[in-house]
Amino acid sequence: MLDGGFTCPNRDGRVGRGGCTFCLCESFNPNYCRRHKSIRDQILAGKEFFKGKYHNMKYLAYFQAYSSTYAPLDVLSERYDEALADEDVVGLVVATRPDCLDDSVLSLLVSIRERGYSVGIELGCESFYDRTLSRVNRGHTSAESIAAIKLCHSYSIPVTVHLMIGLPGESRDDILAQADIINTLPVSSLKLHQLQILSGTAIAKEWTERPDEFLDFTFEDYAELIADFVCRLRSDIRIERYASSAPMDMLLAPRFGVKPSMVEKRIKVLLARK
């Protein structure tokens, strides 16, 4: 994971200020990935961290923090190239928002692919309901998410959609019905995240004041819900992530008490049964 030193239009004022109500960027960067370090240094630290896990490991440079396509093209090109300069990096994965993609960014990624690297986009859609997107201050619409997915597909760039499970005002049925929407779209993979209420965020205040507007799921409820969701999903869509884990000292809820790998294990047991 890399922090390319980018910002986000939902924080710098282009779209909004203050960001999404659930966002606490410190919660998703590992220690080796800090913006004061150069990309080269982050890669070396990341390789050191994973060293010995697998024999002859190769890496995809994952620009994860903030909106990693939100900068002038020459800046993007320079930062992506800095990552690709490492001999063990075989491609790029770029995380961004639906309103930060256009033909010029995708053409840049295609030109990188033509140099022999793998490229992929991780797209934070989070919900396909406009009422939810507006409530959590995402600053984009569901139509923009759909257009961005289709645009990536038109460049044959695989898209991994991020979807947040348990956003306020969404019922279990609402969540499941999003599988039907995703099934109509050229989505390659999905990363599912339970909404994590993190201390100090705007959503933590909302959750404290109106807890009944949030799904209150246990580890078992969540596993059941995701298993049902996956059963409803098109069979060629890969699931790259079933749950996430923020540092415990930041996490107010839900506190599953198990690692994401255990959540995944339980979901797979339920899927086999279903």
Question: Quick one: which of 79, 97, 162, 266 contacts ligand SF4 (CB under 6 A)?
Answer: 97
- Structure tokens given for 146: 């759909």
Minimum CB separation of residue 16 from ligand SF4 in Å reads: 8
Minimum CB separation of residue 66 from ligand SF4 in Å reads: 5
Q: What's the rounded Cα separation, in Å, for the pair 151 and 100?
A: 12
Give residues with Cβ within 8 angstroms of 110, minimum separation 6: 119, 155, 157
66 sits near ligand SF4 (criterion: CB under 6 A) = yes
Q: Name residues contacting ligand SF4, limited to 112-131 (CB under 6 A).
A: 124
Q: Which is nearer to ligand SF4, 24 or 84 (CB)?
A: 24
> Could you tell me which of 206, 142, 123 has the C-alpha nearest to residue 169?
206
Minimum CB separation of residue 245 from ligand SF4 in Å reads: 17
Q: Torsion angle, CA of 219/129/151/99, rounded to 10 degrees?
A: -100
19 sits near ligand SF4 (criterion: CB under 6 A) = yes
Question: What is the separation, in whole angstroms, between the first and last Cα of the chain?
Answer: 34
Question: Quick one: which of 2, 3, 4, 20 contacts ligand SF4 (CB under 6 A)?
Answer: 20
Q: Which is nearer to ligand SF4, 15 or 89 (CB)?
A: 15
Phi/psi at 67 (5° precision): -110, 105
8 sits near ligand SF4 (criterion: CB under 6 A) = yes
Query: Interface with ligand SF4 by CB under 6 A: which range of 4-12, 29-37, 189-197, 216-224?
Result: 4-12
4 sits near ligand SF4 (criterion: CB under 6 A) = no
Phi-psi sector, 43: left (phi>0), alpha (psi -120 to 50), beta: alpha
Q: Are strands 118-126 and 159-165 parallel, antiparallel or unpaired?
A: parallel
Judged by the rule CB under 6 A, the positions of this chain that interact with ligand SF4 are 8, 10-11, 19-20, 23, 25, 66, 97, 124
